[in-house]
Amino acid sequence: MHESTSLLRRVRGGDETALTRAYDEYAPGIYRYAYRLTGHRATAQDVVSDTFRRLLAALRNGGGPTDHLSAWLYRVAHNLVVDGFRRQPEDAPVPLQNAPEIPVPSRAEGRMEHEEAVSAARAALAKLTPLQQQVIALRFLEGLSIRETAEITGKTEGAIKALQHRGTNSLRRILEDDDVEA
pTM for the full model?
Answer: 0.66
Tens-digit pLDDT profile for residues 67-113:
889 889 998 998 898 877 555 544 444 443 433 443 444 455 566 67
Task: Please indicate, yes or no, whether residues 143 and 121 belong to a single structural domain of this protein.
Answer: yes
CATH number where 170 lies: 1.10.10.10
Q: Letter for the amino acid at 127?
A: K
CATH number where 34 lies: 1.10.1740.10
Task: Please indicate, yes or no, whether residues 118 and 157 belong to a single structural domain of this protein.
Answer: yes
- The Cβ of residue 116 has, within 10 Å, a number of other Cβ atoms equal to 12
Q: How far is CA 14 from CA 7, 22, 60, in A?
A: 11, 12, 9
Task: Please indicate, yes or no, whether residues 89 and 163 belong to a single structural domain of this protein.
Answer: no
- Domain span holding position 84: 1-95
Backbone angles phi, psi at 149, to 5 degrees: -65, -40
What is the predicted pLDDT for the residue at 89? 43
Residues 79 and 27: beta-carbon distance below 8 Å: no
What is the predicted pLDDT for the residue at 181? 47
Specify the number of domains making up the chain: 2
What is the predicted pLDDT for the residue at 108? 56
Task: Please indicate, yes or no, whether residues 3 and 89 belong to a single structural domain of this protein.
Answer: yes
Residues of the chain where predicted confidence (pLDDT) is lower than 50: 1, 89-106, 180-182
CA pair distance 72, 75, nearest whole angstrom: 5
Residues 130 and 82: beta-carbon distance below 8 Å: yes
CA 8: distance to chain centroid?
21
Q: Of 75, 95, 115, which residue sits at a domain end? A: 95
Q: Of 95, 120, 139, which residue sits at a domain end? A: 95
